[in-house]
Structure 1
């Protein structure tokens, strides 16, 4: 009877409206955010119950993660895209995200295609480039299907110089363009004369100089740089200040030894030094080459690709081969540059979510608390995002660490089972492109993949391995 003499306190599960009704009556309420596994979808719950502790899945995921953890990404050279990227030819343009046609492309991706065709000399005006893109003479293909990655629009054209990253443990390679900087750049869909001239300087001066220096160095260990940068306040997706600084320290002596003309040496060092995001285009292929080693492990539920083309978001799963599982690209919530508003923004775009897939980027925001000044939120938000990602991942990283968590390894190895059973979507921080072609970057923020990607992947896994 003592219980009934006490003041009533309530715990409310699920629907917040019930809690508000009780508060309106003066009752003290603790609201618990809760929903049933897999958002209450019985078919998904049945599959999850069936495979939750499946020893064959656990073994497959362990094999995949071991391949990832044992990978050693090394920057070995720079090459021309058509000469080094598998399946690349003069009529191919690679793009970020899952497969897409010109008709369905978003503004920034169309803008990057237009700019690439002008850069290649295939068109003289935006109108000519658009006509060529529509003609069927140009083949569009995802970067990820050619061992490559591209930030934002992700367009790689035949003449573009690309970093060559070698996984010396497993022998596979990954490729990525060189970073142009922020604002009005090709990867954000801009294609003005300024953009094209910068790309040509990168092709004629920056890339050859860096190529000589990289090859003189004997190769640059990217895994070590990423690990160090995490200790220095980067998360290696939207904050690359430390990574870029460490790269300059590694490459500068070899740039000097390369015997470049003084004016070119100064321009190259100034360009890299003025671009805090330069290392992004190295952290991405490093992540790609490690995750590709973990791909195609039968029965594995490990996510090895997350990528967006500005229209759709797509994932690929180790045990499901090269099939894409897609849903609509989501709108990004964050901080916009002065003069822009929400209706200017394009949905989520880019291959840079490969960093989160590999266990850094948005998963390591607790290591880069200052990033909230760029993407929005509070320092506590940054800590909580990383804490939450441990719930949907299989392991803690052996090399990449978060100092503020007592050097705990970053959450690594997204498991589609955990995403669905816990109703927690991966956390991504990213740039924001203007929805219209030709304008460029308008801000940065936070976003999650669509639920549908993981639901489709689980259903496909069940069909492939358990049958109907």
Structure 2
């Protein structure tokens, strides 16, 4: 009783758990209170709670996750070549078009992807007009497949056709390679579904002028160290997804001397140098396959619950998990990006989340490293503290910290990496992604940028399948 009297005579120190309504009432009465946002693990879903119990009790899972993130961290990507897709991408052939995200049929594709495929078919000389290209695409004669299933990645629509030059990235630690097209720059571009003569002419210039010069330059080098550039760029204000100013500048510094050593025509060489110099997003198409090469090497670790791919096709969002089949996608309808729109556009104009560039977040950069990139909030919205908060929050859903990609604003703490499907389900925290927004109609282009999260159903499906697979394994 004496204790109760003392409590009533003292200032209350209130912690409100759950709904914030009570906290708001305290605020109205000028009573200091701390809000603790809590929800039951797995949202209270008993099946998912049982799945967590099964996985969290298994020592093999934790060991496997540590092995997986060790592989990711030790990966070392170099740009070693540029060549036509048909010459280097496994399984590529004359009638194959690769796209971003999980598998999808032509009739279900969103506007920007359909527009980009139409442009690619005209670029390849398989059709002369958009109408002919559209008819061909729907005829069944053309094969479509995710770039991810051919060791490749592509931004936004993600289209890779046979003749397109691709960067060849070698993970020298583990011996595997990954591929990505050359970034076209801004404006009317194929990756947003544009397919006008201007777009096709630029792609032809990249194929016939830019790529041969870059190929000569790379042949003089021992490869360009992309891991080192990424690490430095994070200390210079980039997050290597939507902000690539520092990384592109660092790449420019590395490649320029080799370009100048080539026997290229002077005017062509000036055009090539200018193209890289004036395209601040050039490094994105190096960052993405660099991440892809690391994560592919880490796929196939038995018992690992670490995510090795996140990708979207403008209709569905899909993830892959290291400890499950490499060809197995866990998908759900893609969300819409929330953020800042360019003048004249609104949410009604936007396509759902689109592109393979979420491979950067899967690696632990991009949205996960926004704390290193305060200027990114001017592009995606919010405040600098929001960017730092996102980076800090991601430690709660990941298996480790990558000291190779440290964040200055967090006292050079290694960035969060190794998304763990168990922790996503247990904490109800979804990975954060910063990204551009595409107009829902082909060819209009980018209409804004912002923040988006994967649909939770992807992780729910993955963890359910994980338990099904490993319960059977335990019973054998």
TM-score, length-scaled by structure 1? 0.97
Alignment match, 2:405? 400
The answer to whether structure 1 residue 169 and structure 2 residue 170 are counterparts is no
The answer to whether structure 1 residue 268 and structure 2 residue 308 are counterparts is no
Quote how far apart the aligned CAs of 1:398 are.
Answer: 2.8
Alignment match, 2:441? 436
CA distance, structure 2, for counterparts of residue 393 and residue 292 of structure 1: 18
CA distance, structure 1, for counterparts of residue 407 and residue 57 of structure 2: 29
Alignment match, 1:358? 363
The answer to whether structure 1 residue 420 and structure 2 residue 425 are counterparts is yes
Deviations 1:142-197 (A, max 9, x none): 00000000011100001100000111111111000000012321111111111111
Alignment match, 1:90? 94
Quote how far apart the aligned CAs of 1:116 are.
Answer: 0.8
Quote how far apart the aligned CAs of 1:22 are.
Answer: 6.2
Quote how far apart the aligned CAs of 1:12 are.
Answer: 3.0
In the TM superposition, 1:39-118 aligns within 5 A as: 39-118=43-122
Deviations 1:72-108 (A, max 9, x none): 1111101111111111111110000000001111111
CA distance, structure 2, for counterparts of residue 372 and residue 23 of structure 1: 29
Structure 2 segments unaligned to the other structure (5+ residues): none
CA distance, structure 2, for counterparts of residue 251 and residue 22 of structure 1: 60
The 3-state SS of whatever aligns with 1:152 is coil
- 2:415 equivalent among 410, 413, 422: 410
Is the contact between residue 184 and residue 441 of structure 1 (CA under 8 Å) also seen in structure 2? Answer: no
Which is further off, 401-410 or 384-393? 401-410
Alignment match, 2:135? 131
Aligned length: 468
Is the contact between residue 76 and residue 172 of structure 2 (CA under 8 Å) also seen in structure 1? Answer: yes
CA distance, structure 2, for counterparts of residue 244 and residue 177 of structure 1: 15
Structure 1 segments unaligned to the other structure (5+ residues): none
**Cα-Cα RMSD:** 1.6
The answer to whether structure 1 residue 300 and structure 2 residue 301 are counterparts is no
- 2:18 equivalent among 9, 14, 19: 14
Is the contact between residue 348 and residue 432 of structure 1 (CA under 8 Å) also seen in structure 2? Answer: yes
Quote how far apart the aligned CAs of 1:2 are.
Answer: 2.7
Which is further off, 53-62 or 418-427? 53-62
The 3-state SS of whatever aligns with 2:336 is coil
Quote how far apart the aligned CAs of 1:14 are.
Answer: 2.0
TM-score, length-scaled by structure 2? 0.95
In the TM superposition, 1:195-206 aligns within 5 A as: 195-206=199-210
The 3-state SS of whatever aligns with 2:323 is helix
Q: Which aligned runs of 4 or more in structure 1 are off by greater than 6 angstroms?
A: 24-27
Quote how far apart the aligned CAs of 1:53 are.
Answer: 4.8
Is the contact between residue 55 and residue 467 of structure 2 (CA under 8 Å) also seen in structure 1? Answer: no
Alignment match, 2:346? 341
CA distance, structure 1, for counterparts of residue 413 and residue 279 of structure 2: 30
CA distance, structure 1, for counterparts of residue 169 and residue 343 of structure 2: 37
Deviations 1:19-62 (A, max 9, x none): 44666678665432211111111111122123225211111112
The 3-state SS of whatever aligns with 1:319 is coil
